[in-house]
């Protein structure tokens, strides 16, 4: 290995260590490494050169990894509060506690049923199918883009200051939708005029198209692109807990009939069944009420946010197409493509 090759490798090593320190890795003293390799002992020099060559190979491998797998992508510099997984392919809300609690409660209920209540392979298999259906819908509603509207990152400082200085009247636009005048508000965070039915979520810090609400139990905004899965999650969970509750009551009734102490005997012999039955009926009541409320909103083609704010109380809802077409729009129309590409490699 000639002097030129050696200097070149040390120069590349120096550049690599600077790049690694930028990403939080341990910095390496290149001068010290160079001095150590210039030992007067031939045997020691041979060993140190071998170590240095191996280190250079590892460095090159890391550089290859850094140059391809660790390139700066759009989700690395995303300005909102979302959390990303699998290279930006999955997008979640900033607080996972609600999602973890939901996942834990469903898993525990299904486990108790399979271990203590299900007395046949067919019963357990059907409960596992329902549980899988619930988790698939929960995964979809909590990890896909709910309808995020891209920010106007090209807005100049002058335009931003101009909008900041405007009053409420000039910070909005008026448009006509099916004969009804609607107001498009300007979002000072995203620097855009929001489309109708959209709203800026203070938790996720995004403007969401067809914003319904931010669901704490899925840790995600509910909007245009995941509302369908939110509804299927609710009704699949109702089906699961109805199934668990029915067979829990059957087991409790059987124990009461067989035990001379009646309900007290059931309380001592199957406390886990009583607990899961009580939780199931609570979940059915909560999810059932929530599901009926959203079915009512779908029939009117209205979001929960619009209903809460009474947006169309005076003018009428310009988006109402009739009950049949409203349900078709939510459950059967193709989902619009995402407006954001979080896996995109940014220009260097």
Catalytic residues: 215
In sequence order, which residues have a C-beta less than 8 Å from that of residue 210 and are 6 or more positions away?
147, 197, 198, 223, 224, 227, 303
Name the residue with tokens 């990890």. 143
Q: Would you state the structure tokens that stand for residue 213, as one six-digit string?
A: 């609400």
The whole-angstrom separation of Cα 86 and Cα 73 is: 12
Strands (DSSP E) contained in 132-281 are 148-149, 172-177, 180-187, 192-193, 199-201, 206-208, 213-215, 220-222
* Residue pair 258/162 in contact by the 8 Å Cβ criterion: no
In sequence order, which residues have a C-beta less than 8 Å from that of residue 288 and are 6 or more positions away?
238
Q: Would you state the structure tokens that stand for residue 142, as one six-digit string?
A: 């909590």
The whole-angstrom separation of Cα 127 and Cα 122 is: 9
The whole-angstrom separation of Cα 321 and Cα 301 is: 7
Q: 3-class SS at 319?
A: coil
Neighbour-count burial of 205, counting CB atoms closer than 10 A to its CB (0-12 exposed, 13-18 middle, 19+ buried): middle
Query: How far, in Å, are 44, 110, 207, 272, 274 from residue 279 at the CA level?
Result: 71, 12, 35, 11, 9
- Do you know the residue count of the chain? 348
DSSP single-letter state for residue 75:
G
The whole-angstrom separation of Cα 280 and Cα 248 is: 9
Q: Would you state the structure tokens that stand for residue 25, as one six-digit string?
A: 């890795």
């Amino acid at each position: 290995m000639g002097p030129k090759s050696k200097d070149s490798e040390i120069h590349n090593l120096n550049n690599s260590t600077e790049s690694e320190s930028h990403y939080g890795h341990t910095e390496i003293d290149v001068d010290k490494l160079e001095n150590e390799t210039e030992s007067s002992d031939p045997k020691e020099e041979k060993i140190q050169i071998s170590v240095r060559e191996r280190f250079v190979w590892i460095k090159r491998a890391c550089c290859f990894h850094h140059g391809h797998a660790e390139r700066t992508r759009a989700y690395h510099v995303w300005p909102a509060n979302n959390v990303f997984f699998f290279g930006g392919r999955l997008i979640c809300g900033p607080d996972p506690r609600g999602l973890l609690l939901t996942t834990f409660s469903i898993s525990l209920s299904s486990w108790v049923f399979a271990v203590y209540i299900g007395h046949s392979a067919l019963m357990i298999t059907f409960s596992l199918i329902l549980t899988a259906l619930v988790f698939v819908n929960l995964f979809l509603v909590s990890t896909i883009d709910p309808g995020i509207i891209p920010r106007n990152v090209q807005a100049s400082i002058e335009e931003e200051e101009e909008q900041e200085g405007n009053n409420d009247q000039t910070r909005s636009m008026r448009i006509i939708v099916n004969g009804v005048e609607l107001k498009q508000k300007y979002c000072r965070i995203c620097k855009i005029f929001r489309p109708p039915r959209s709203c800026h979520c203070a938790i996720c810090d995004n403007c969401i198209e067809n914003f319904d609400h931010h669901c704490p139990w899925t840790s995600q905004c509910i909007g245009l692109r995941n509302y369908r899965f939110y509804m299927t999650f609710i009704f699949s969970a109702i089906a699961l807990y109805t199934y668990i509750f029915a067979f829990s009551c059957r087991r409790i009734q059987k124990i009461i009939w067989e035990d001379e102490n009646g309900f007290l005997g059931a309380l001592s012999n199957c406390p886990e069944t009583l607990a899961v039955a009580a939780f199931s009926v609570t979940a059915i009541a909560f999810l059932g009420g929530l599901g009926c409320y959203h079915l009512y909103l779908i029939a009117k083609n209205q979001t929960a946010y619009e209903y809460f704010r009474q947006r169309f109380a005076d003018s009428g809802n310009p988006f109402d197409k009739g009950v049949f077409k409203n349900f078709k729009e939510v459950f059967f129309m193709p989902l619009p493509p995402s407006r954001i590409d979080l896996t995109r490699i940014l220009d260097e």
